[in-house]
């Protein structure tokens, strides 16, 4: 495939080697306008906004990835394979499952369990375990400690379903010490592995499945600064 792609209007060289990827394109816009200097918008196709600028002298891009593994699967694949991106850091929201996480906690996905069939395309003779790049993960933990931001590191769930007909599913994942549920990390980690590139998922707990607490849509878009700043520092 040539660039621009059907999903990304950027030309060669317009995207940095490291891309921060929230699901919400308006969160990408917020990061660009709040933290980056000399910002250029490289994509507006399908309103999946993408920007490149500098942060403390480092060239960084930020782009929305959409909801679900098919969506981030497309955008991350094209960034890795067609735009020569080396690192993608997902900055997203998640629903808490474990008692060890609470509202607004920053969770770093060391592994991403999944109920998705995404890995079937690789025709592997077994079950693939999607994991984060250790170097990015280590830097994120060290940076959070330096910034005095508490993080919880462990296994998350990337689910294909938001409204599940299986009412026992959350309890079963909870028994396996899954920290939180989101919908993208496993596909991102698999795309990175297949491309020989790096990926990390940093999440903020926006709601908790068992306590019933939840943040507003505006809070999700505008107030996840701890997660954003960790990602920017390691980019």
Active site residues: 207
Phi-psi region of 124 (alpha: psi -120 to 50; beta: other; left: phi over 0): beta
Q: What is the dihedral of CA 1, 88, 228, 23, to 10 degrees?
A: 50
Residue pair 39/22 in contact (Cβ under 8 Å)? The answer is: no
Q: What are the phi and psi torsion angles at 190 (to 5°)?
A: -70, -45
**What gap in Å lies between CA 43 and CA 22, rounded to an integer?**
15
**What gap in Å lies between CA 70 and CA 65, rounded to an integer?**
10
**What gap in Å lies between CA 205 and CA 170, rounded to an integer?**
16
């Amino acid at each position: 495939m040539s660039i621009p792609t059907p999903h990304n209007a950027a030309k060669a060289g317009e995207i940095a080697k490291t891309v921060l990827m929230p699901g919400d394109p308006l969160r990408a816009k917020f990061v660009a306008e709040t933290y980056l200097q000399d910002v250029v918008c490289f994509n507006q196709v399908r309103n999946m906004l993408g920007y490149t600028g500098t942060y403390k002298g480092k060239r960084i891009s930020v782009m929305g990835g959409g909801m679900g593994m098919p969506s981030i699967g497309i955008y991350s694949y094209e960034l890795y394979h067609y735009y020569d991106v080396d690192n993608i850091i997902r900055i997203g929201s998640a629903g808490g499952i474990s008692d060890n996480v609470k509202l607004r906690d920053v969770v770093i996905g060391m592994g991403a369990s999944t109920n998705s069939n995404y890995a079937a395309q690789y025709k592997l003779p077994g079950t693939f375990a999607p994991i984060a790049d250790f170097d990015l993960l280590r830097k994120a933990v060290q940076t959070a400690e330096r910034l005095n931001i508490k993080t919880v590191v462990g296994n998350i769930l990337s689910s294909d379903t938001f409204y599940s007909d299986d009412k026992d599913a959350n309890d079963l994942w909870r028994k396996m010490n899954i920290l939180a549920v989101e919908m993208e990390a496993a596909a991102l980690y698999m795309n990175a592995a297949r491309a020989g590139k790096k990926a990390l998922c940093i999440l903020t707990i926006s709601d908790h499945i068992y306590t019933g607490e939840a943040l507003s849509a505006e809070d999700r878009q505008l107030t996840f600064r701890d997660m954003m700043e960790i990602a920017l520092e390691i980019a």
